[in-house]
Amino acid sequence: MASPRKAVVVAVSGCSSSGKSTLSRLLCDVFPNCFVLHADDFYKPEAEIPTKDGVLDWDCADALSIPDMIRSLEYIHRNGAYPPDLHSKEAQNPSTPPPAIPSTLLSSLRSQVQAWSSSAGHSLLSPSPLPIFILDGFLLYAQSMTALQPQLDIRLFLRTSEEQAKKRRAKRAGYATLEGFWEDPPGYVENIVWPNYVRDHAFLFKDGDVEGEVDEAVMREHGIECLGKGDVDMATTVEWAVNVLMRRLPEVIGERGQGK
């Protein structure tokens, strides 16, 4: 029998600028002993990033060191802590102000989580909280990332439209890289980000239309939780995500406690 895991990994995935990082931070505001891990911290050196029409393609699986991601998640599951050699570049990125979330909502969600834990007697929160690691990544459920997926205990998927992705990404100053700083060239979302998203996620949607209806049967098959048909405000999104975690965490904890 395998040893019980000492942490839960919650994946938050979706297109670039779908709200993954914001939701991840808010979940850590609501759940105790909760930490964020960024897939962006596993980019390869710039010299190894693929190009598309002469432009660096940071939004494909080949831009990431998937073996390093797997090793880090295995370490987290075994030890309940960050790998000592993992240093985040994401913290260096200029952050955009989060959407207005009423402080009363976050207070209410914290109270709900505490009451849920107390009434159900979950080992998740007391007496020694089981760590929750939120993995924020742009294509965690793509078929090109199949080797990573056994490490994902709970899977949340955020949707956005192409129009909204363009607007949100345009507000970003750029991204820290191993070598320095990256700024999107003109047309980057239209020519690289969105086409890559469509290619890697069409299988999750009816008729491959990523702005249409999700294929519920495929979502269930892959254990993916998804909210709504398109852009959803962050207050609604965080409330949905908290309820999903309260529903799913007892299942995951029970499985891991049995060494599955």
The catalytic position among 29, 40, 136, 215 is: 40
Residue tagged 């309820």 (tokens): 243
- At 13 the three-state DSSP class reads strand
Tell me, what DSSP letter sits at residue 184? P
β-strands 55-56, 181-182 pairing:
unpaired
The residue type of 194 is W
Residue 29 annotated in active site: no
Full DSSP string of 33-82: SEEEEEGGGGBPPGGGS-EETTEE--SSGGGB-HHHHHHHHHHHHHHSS-
- In angstroms, rounded to a whole number, what is the distance separating the alpha carbons of residues 9 and 106? 22
- Enclosing H/E stretch for 167: helix 162-170
Catalytic residue ranges: 40
